[in-house]
């Protein structure tokens, strides 16, 4: 029987700040599964841009560090001007395994394909306590009060989104809260959420997220995005 599902053309956006040690591996792995990989070098001083380019990425550069949200917006301005059906977001620090990309693509192809979130398995035995509790609590709060759908990992940066929906929203976040802003605004546009489990690699990966500070900021800004849409739409 012929598979009549429409083909996906996927562009990946990888925000990166001082990730020369890991970005090349991330780019090489992602290029096995998607049409294009765009790395946004957010003011790095360690050769991140060169490492990404050697691995085959298109590299966009900020002259100074502006934050993950700003890097995501720069990447979107570039890829949404091109003929892609979906945008894949993933981090440059090695915590997201490119081997999980086909599973996200498959979920998008078999389902609505609006927003596929690669959810981490929160394990108290293997995760730092601060990350475990802030992720579990913030995901529960954001799901219940701001999204209106069950999401187990609201702050996951590993996600696949339909490009046409991204063209209809305006992102304003400058930092790590961009994932929550994107989720809330996509849901307000009626995007269906599909959840898929992915691996999380802590060994050798360095996260710049400060769990308590950044999660508190994210929840505070979620109130703005959800209840004051006329200003933060």
Residue-wise pLDDT tens digits, 37-57: 999 999 999 999 999 999 999
Distances (CA, A) of 63 to 30, 144, 145, 214: 25, 39, 38, 24
**Which range, of 1-5, 30-34, 84-88, averages the lowest pLDDT?**
1-5
2: confidence class by pLDDT, cuts 50, 70, 90: very low
Mean pLDDT over residues 79-93, rounded? 96
Residue 40, beta-bridge partner list:
15, 60
Continuous segment of H or E residues that includes residue 122:
none
> How confident is the prediction for the chain on average, in pLDDT?
84
Prediction pTM value: 0.83
Determine what percent of the chain falls in helix, strand and coil, rounding each to the nearest 5: 40, 20, 40
232: confidence class by pLDDT, cuts 50, 70, 90: very low
202: confidence class by pLDDT, cuts 50, 70, 90: low
Mean pLDDT over residues 166-182, rounded? 90
Greatest extent of the chain over all pairs of C-alpha atoms, in Å = 53
Give the domain ranges of the chain.
Answer: 10-228
pLDDT above 90 coverage of the chain, percent: 59
Which is higher by pLDDT, 133 or 32? 32
Could you confirm whether domain 10-228 is CATH 3.40.50.2300? no
At a CB cut-off of 8 Å and minimum separation 6, what does 49 contact?
39, 41, 59, 61
Q: What is the DSSP letter of 96?
A: B
Mean pLDDT over residues 139-146, rounded? 63
Give me the DSSP letters along 164-227: HHHTT------STTHHHHHHHHHHHTTPPEEEEEE-B--TT------HHHHHHHHHHHHHHHHH
Q: What is the DSSP letter of 125?
A: T
CA separation for the pair 193, 143 (Å, rounded)? 11
- Which token pair is 61? 């550069």
């Amino acid at each position: 029987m012929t598979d009549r599902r429409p083909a996906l053309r996927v562009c990946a956006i990888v925000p990166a700040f001082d990730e020369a040690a890991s970005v090349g591996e991330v780019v090489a792995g992602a290029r096995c599964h998607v049409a294009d990989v765009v790395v946004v070098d957010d003011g790095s001083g360690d050769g991140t841009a060169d490492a990404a380019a050697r691995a085959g990425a298109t590299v966009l550069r900020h002259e100074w560090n502006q934050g993950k949200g700003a890097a995501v917006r720069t990447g979107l301005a570039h890829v949404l001007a091109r003929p892609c059906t979906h945008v894949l977001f993933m981090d440059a620090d090695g915590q997201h395994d490119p081997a999980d990309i086909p599973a996200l693509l498959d979920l998008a192809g078999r389902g609505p394909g609006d927003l596929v979130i690669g959810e981490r398995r929160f394990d108290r035995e293997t995760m730092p306590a601060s990350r475990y509790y802030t992720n579990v609590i913030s995901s529960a709060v954001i799901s219940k009060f701001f999204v209106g759908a069950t999401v187990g990992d609201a702050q996951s940066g590993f996600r696949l989104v339909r490009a046409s929906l991204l063209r209809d929203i305006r992102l304003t976040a400058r930092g790590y809260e961009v994932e929550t802003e994107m989720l809330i605004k996509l849901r307000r546009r009626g995007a269906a959420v599909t959840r898929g489990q992915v691996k999380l690699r802590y060994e050798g990966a360095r996260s710049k997220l400060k769990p308590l500070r950044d999660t508190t900021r994210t929840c505070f800004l979620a109130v703005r995005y959800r209840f004051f849409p006329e200003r933060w739409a």
